[in-house]
């Protein structure tokens, strides 16, 4: 695996705020805006509004501690992130990931294919660390890179096939839940509070998931209902969307070890069986079982 950190565009724009047109040459910029359903050229025109120069220059300005957002970005080590992510991937999973910092809108991060596009206007310097919302930037990048890599390990099911949509949801919850466990478990702030609330309704969420897994009809509508019920929105969706999925990963890891959990990412559709085996070994009560009711 190799990680490339590209801050060329933000350096150009902070030095030459009137050169926004150069953003059109950035693959990350095009990915970001097209993913939002917007034409990149039109986005450039809209970004070039009064106040843009001040926003760009602020990224390079040093605060009272002598630090700046641009300076902090320059110290990011792609090799360090690569090592973190690689330790949590199955052996032999080799991928290239490009990280680009681009001028964006409301969405902080877009990750697709082999590219992570970070909206540099969403960056906040706190002390020596860069944050995006409640998440440290480096942890968020590791999370998103891990998701990109594990998504390639297993081909998605056909949504219109029997159970395909549900299986895709379960695999996604497993992949994102493991990435959260490895890199971005919330420890404070608004997202942490949401997780505390999710913990209180865990038993009900497990019962809901069990009922849907064994429903006679488990098509796309059911998968959408599960997403609506189990996925957190807002800033939590950046890197901590599925508290239940992360808890299931914790159970598997606790029963069989982290290496087992990591290797299981090659078999993401088997997460329910892996969880049930781990639950039984742990001695967790039947109320947390995902097996069919006897």
Task: Examine the fold and report which residue of 121, 151, 181 is the final residue of a domain before the chain moves on.
Answer: 151
Task: Examine the fold and report which residue of 108, 124, 151 is the final residue of a domain before the chain moves on.
Answer: 151
Q: Does 228 score more than 90 pLDDT?
A: yes
Looking at the fold, whether 140 and 8 belong to one and the same domain comes out as yes
Higher per-residue confidence, 49 vs 81: 81
Looking at the fold, whether 106 and 202 belong to one and the same domain comes out as no
* Residue 33 is assigned to a structural domain of this protein: yes
Question: How high is the pLDDT of residue 183?
Answer: 98
Question: How high is the pLDDT of residue 133?
Answer: 93
* Residue 247 is assigned to a structural domain of this protein: yes
* Residue 157 is assigned to a structural domain of this protein: no
* Residue 158 is assigned to a structural domain of this protein: no
Q: Does 139 score more than 70 pLDDT?
A: yes
Lowest mean pLDDT among 56-60, 116-120, 159-163: 159-163
Question: How high is the pLDDT of residue 294?
Answer: 56
Q: Does 190 score more than 90 pLDDT?
A: yes
**Res. 161 pLDDT band, cuts 50 70 90:** low
Question: How high is the pLDDT of residue 154?
Answer: 86
Average pLDDT over residues 67-72: 95
Question: How high is the pLDDT of residue 255?
Answer: 96
Looking at the fold, whether 67 and 145 belong to one and the same domain comes out as yes
**Number of domains observed in the structure of the chain:** 2
Task: Examine the fold and report which residue of 94, 129, 151 is the final residue of a domain before the chain moves on.
Answer: 151
pLDDT digits (tens, 9 = 90+) for 260-274: 999 999 999 999 999
Looking at the fold, whether 39 and 144 belong to one and the same domain comes out as yes
* Residue 246 is assigned to a structural domain of this protein: yes
Looking at the fold, whether 140 and 88 belong to one and the same domain comes out as yes
Looking at the fold, whether 12 and 124 belong to one and the same domain comes out as yes
Looking at the fold, whether 183 and 122 belong to one and the same domain comes out as no
Q: Does 208 score more than 60 pLDDT?
A: yes
* Residue 156 is assigned to a structural domain of this protein: no
* Residue 293 is assigned to a structural domain of this protein: no
* Residue 294 is assigned to a structural domain of this protein: no
Looking at the fold, whether 146 and 7 belong to one and the same domain comes out as yes
pLDDT digits (tens, 9 = 90+) for 140-159: 999 999 999 999 998 887 67
0.75 cut: is pTM over it?
Answer: yes
Q: Give the residue numbers spanning the domain of 32.
A: 2-151
Q: Does 164 score more than 90 pLDDT?
A: no
The three-state (H, E, C) secondary structure of the chain, written as one string: CEEEEECHHHHHHHHCCCCHHHHHHCHHHHHHHHHCCCCHHHHHHHHCCCCHHHHHHHHHCCCCCCCCHHHHHHCCCHHHHHHHHHCCCCCCCCCEEEEEEECCCCCCEEEECCEEEEEHHHEEEECCEEEECCEEHHHHHHHHHHHHHHHCCCCCCCCCCCCHHHHHHHHHHHHHHHHHHHHHCCCCHHHHHHHHHHHHCHHHHHHHHHHHHCCCCCCHHHHHHHHHHHCCCHHHHHCCCCHHHHHHHHHHHHHHCHHHHHHHHHHHHHHHHHHHHHHHHHCCCHHHCCCCCC
Question: How high is the pLDDT of residue 64?
Answer: 77
Looking at the fold, whether 264 and 169 belong to one and the same domain comes out as yes
Looking at the fold, whether 141 and 221 belong to one and the same domain comes out as no
Looking at the fold, whether 91 and 173 belong to one and the same domain comes out as no
**Res. 65 pLDDT band, cuts 50 70 90:** confident
Looking at the fold, whether 135 and 17 belong to one and the same domain comes out as yes
């Amino acid at each position: 695996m190799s990680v490339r950190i590209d801050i060329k565009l933000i350096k150009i724009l902070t030095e030459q705020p009137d050169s926004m047109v150069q953003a059109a040459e950035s693959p990350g910029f095009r990915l970001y805006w097209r993913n939002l359903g917007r034409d990149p050229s039109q986005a450039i025109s809209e970004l070039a509004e009064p106040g843009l120069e001040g926003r760009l220059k602020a990224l390079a300005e040093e605060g009272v501690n002598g630090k700046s957002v641009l300076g902090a970005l320059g110290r990011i080590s792609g090799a360090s992130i690569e090592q973190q992510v690689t330790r949590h991937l199955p052996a032999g999973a080799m991928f290239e990931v490009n990280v680009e910092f681009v001028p964006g809108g409301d969405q902080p991060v877009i990750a697709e294919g082999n590219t992570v596009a970070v909206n540099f206007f969403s960056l906040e310097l706190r002390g020596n660390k860069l944050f995006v919302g409640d998440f440290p930037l480096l942890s968020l990048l590791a999370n998103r890179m891990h998701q990109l890599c594990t998504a390639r390990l297993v081909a998605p099911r056909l949504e219109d096939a029997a159970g395909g949509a549900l299986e895709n949801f379960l695999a996604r919850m497993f992949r994102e839940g493991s990435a959260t466990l490895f890199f971005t478990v919330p420890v404070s702030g608004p997202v942490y509070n949401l997780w505390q609330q999710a913990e209180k309704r865990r038993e009900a969420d497990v019962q809901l998931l069990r009922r849907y897994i064994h429903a006679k009809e488990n098509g796309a509508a059911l998968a959408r209902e599960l997403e609506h019920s189990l996925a957190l929105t807002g800033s939590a969706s950046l890197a901590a969307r599925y508290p239940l999925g992360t808890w299931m990963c914790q159970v598997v890891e606790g029963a069989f070890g982290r290496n087992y959990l990591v290797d299981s990412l090659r078999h993401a559709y088997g997460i329910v069986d892996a969880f049930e085996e781990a639950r039984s070994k742990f001695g967790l009560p039947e109320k947390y079982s995902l097996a069919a009711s006897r």
